[in-house]
Structure 1
Amino acid sequence: MTTLLPRLHLFEFHDQAWCPAPLREALTDCVNAAWSFTGFWRNAVPHIEDLLDRTGERTILDLCSGSGGPVPRIVHAVAQQMPELRAELSDRFPKPGSLDALGPELRARVRYREQPVDALAVPAELAGLRTVFGAFHHFRPAQAVAMLRSASGSARALAVFEFQRRAMLRSLVPPMGLVGLSPLLAHWTAPRRWWRPVLTAIPVIPAMWAWDSFATIMRTYTPAELVELAEQARAPGYRWEVREARSDGPERITCLAGFPDPRGGVELIEY
């Protein structure tokens, strides 16, 4: 799938160190609401199950987790076949309180690491299948390659997921319309905050969310660009697969999967 739009590394409010904590929380809550109500997280489940089977891992280490993202839902779905599955969420700006709404069963399986974790310098002692949901576009090409090399160099499996594409029309068709409603949906999916209805009504949060959504589309890597990044992160005995769903509908997902494999190499797989 090709695009005529050049990649522009525009800034996003919520990944700026100067962004006030309440606004960063509000925007990451919008991201979480988007994952929840579009249902795109379900398209990641087969890839997660495949990598867990290939590697024998039973722990997911989620990077750039923000307000929790889709990992708790994925764990709930996958744990029916893998009851020993556990997950640890992490972020440069951790939000452990975002898991307070989880039920007792999921709280036993999913924890949020309170110490900040830089996705470009993951501590060696943190094991598990590394995942990145909707955040890979935040990294410039050199940083993205560094993240991939960190995984391939340590023989850790990595799965990067994006549901948007760098095409304005194709990224805004249903069910992406729900993404625009994320500031409202967050009132039901995120912890209650006194400032949320105020900053939504003004409307500070919707305006910042609109910009961040546009910037996200313009920063998103195409499958061909993901192949180029993976080529730079090649390592003996480690394989990269760019798995691209052809669908423009609810089945869409782009997965960059890396895992130890004697075949090595980089392959683009459209399905």
Structure 2
Amino acid sequence: MAPLVPRMHLFEIDDQTWFPSFLRARVQAALTTVWTTRVPYLQPQSPAQLVARLISSQLGSSVRDYVFIDFCAGGGGPTPSIEKHLNQTISSSSPCSSSSSSLTNGTSSGSNASYAAVAAASPPLRPVRFVLTDLHPHLPDWKKAASLSPNLSYIPTSVDAAHAPADLVGRYKSQGQKVFRLYNLAFHHFDDPLARAILKNTLDTSDGFGIFELQDRSFLDGFVTLCLYGIGIFLAAPFYAFKWRSPATLIFTYLLPILPFVLVFDGWISALRTRTPDEVEALLRTCGAEGGEEEIKRWEVRSGKVPIMWPIGSLSWIICVRRGEDDDEQRSRGN
């Protein structure tokens, strides 16, 4: 059902050049915390963990064929957490893991089976790789995140999502891998002309993309939930001031409540900017991708909403993947 409120591309305070950089860093850190934190009893999983499970379930066994490039990584955002959870998910579901588990439980059907035999029959599958990029690289944050995982890397130079460097995409395709672009809490920042340019570049150079938002243009997920986030900021500020070693967090939360105001205000504006799946698909059809309508038909759009917090709060997602040749043949036969 279409939202009652039309999309409005209003300004967010955090986007403005005059907004102090040290406050912007705290705003981005707070948003990353929302992505990666699970509130006991209210959240069975963190939003980042939900994204990992969505990617795994939607791409299925082909998930290992992709390299995931975050084109709007900011300070790192949820991508390092998504990488960790996704690789944990697919590792726990791999045939090798199942075989090892059955041997541990004494249920192996082969009397001469051994861990060495299982390892030889089922060599370790390669983990899924993630890459951080942005128009404005956050190198200190990215270096720290990449040091914690061998599956996470970054591009130290500026990367424009509307004009992705050919060598960035080409280096992975030359290795036989597909490129999947991530837009975590980011796609709503683009106005229609820029969104079309980014989608055109995506369709021309990549094999899939995912748009994940923590808000939409509904009353509950676009207004009420964000008010509750504002209350949560006041409650959690002392803990994160200690964690970040930042007394300024307390000052700009309680004495001068700039941080909660910006986070809630920008959240409301983000909700008004967020597109529905139909609106994204309309941009796809008018983005001017090479091949025109025939190229658009080679892509499959999937979408949905997943609860992230009780009793309200949802993750809105859109995943679009290029159909394989087998899919095209089946589709043509069906027509």
TM-score clears 0.5 = yes
1:62 corresponds, among 70, 88, 105, to: 70
1:164 corresponds, among 215, 221, 225, to: 215
Q: Which amino acid aligns with 1:227?
A: E
Equivalent residue for 1:195?
248
Structure 1 gaps, min length 5? 265-271
Report the CA distance shift for 1:249/1:231 in structure 2 as closer, same or farther (over 3 A). Answer: farther
Instruction: Confirm whether residue 239 of structure 1 aligns to residue 303 of structure 2.
Output: no
| 1:51, distance to aligned residue in structure 2 (A) | 3.6
Equivalent residue for 2:12?
12
What's the CA shift string for 1:15-72, capped at 9, x where partnerless? 2333322122122112111212362222222342244744753422112112222111
Equivalent residue for 2:280?
226
Equivalent residue for 2:271?
217
Assess if the C-alpha contact under 8 Å between 1:64 and 1:132 holds in 2: yes
- Tell me the SS of whatever aligns to 1:79: helix
Report the CA distance shift for 1:248/1:40 in structure 2 as closer, same or farther (over 3 A). Answer: closer
| TM-score, normalised by the number of residues in structure 1 | 0.82
Aligned CA-pair RMSD? 3.1
Identity rate, percent: 24
Q: Which amino acid aligns with 1:27?
A: V
What's the CA shift string for 1:183-203, capped at 9, x where partnerless? 746826974445333222311
Equivalent residue for 2:152?
110
| 1:11, distance to aligned residue in structure 2 (A) | 0.8
Distance in 1, matches of 2:243 and 2:139, equals 13
- Tell me the SS of whatever aligns to 1:254: strand
* 1:1-271 to 2 correspondences below 5 Å: 1-37=1-37, 39-49=46-56, 50-51=58-59, 53-54=61-62, 56-80=64-88, 81=90, 83-99=126-142, 102=145, 106-127=148-169, 128-172=179-223, 177-178=228-229, 180-182=231-233, 184=236, 187=240, 191-201=244-254, 202-233=256-287, 236=295, 238-245=298-305, 252-261=314-323, 262=325
Report the CA distance shift for 1:97/1:180 in structure 2 as closer, same or farther (over 3 A). Answer: farther
| TM-score, normalised by the number of residues in structure 2 | 0.68
Give the structure, 1 or 2, with the largest relative contact order (CA under 8 Å, sep 6 or more): 1
Distance in 1, matches of 2:186 and 2:77, equals 10
| 1:92, distance to aligned residue in structure 2 (A) | 2.1
Report the CA distance shift for 1:221/1:21 in structure 2 as closer, same or farther (over 3 A). Answer: same
Report the CA distance shift for 1:194/1:255 in structure 2 as closer, same or farther (over 3 A). Answer: same
Distance in 2, matches of 1:224 and 1:86, equals 30
Structure 2 gaps, min length 5? 39-45, 92-125, 170-178, 288-292, 329-335
Distance in 2, matches of 1:126 and 1:147, equals 15
Paired residues, number: 263
| 1:164, distance to aligned residue in structure 2 (A) | 1.0
Assess if the C-alpha contact under 8 Å between 1:157 and 1:257 holds in 2: yes
Assess if the C-alpha contact under 8 Å between 1:32 and 1:69 holds in 2: yes
Q: Say which one has the larger Rg.
A: 2
